[in-house]
Amino acid sequence: GGELFDYICKHGGVEDTEVRRLFQQIISAVDYCHRHMVVHRDLKPENVLLDGNMNAKIADFGLSNMMSDGEFLRTSCGSPNYAAPEVISGRFYAGP
């Protein structure tokens, strides 16, 4: 268990088959959030937790926001190393 970031540091990476499985789980979780109009805004390896079976869980929704259709976000938040270019440049950005 623990953070995906710590796992990567400890093991020097993640095997290709595990990466594909984890990526599918993360994308599925993000899709679920977006279908419910929630944007995380700080998705990074430190905010992906692994359980004892190496299943990914998205954590830390402290910077998340609810979206409405046609609405733009303005707040520059999250971790700059993982932020989208439009967030870094200070432009308005759309959610899901």
Active-site residue set: 42
Q: What is the DSSP string of 42-93?
A: --SGGGEEE-TT--EEE---TT-EE--TT-EE----S-GGG--HHHHTT--E
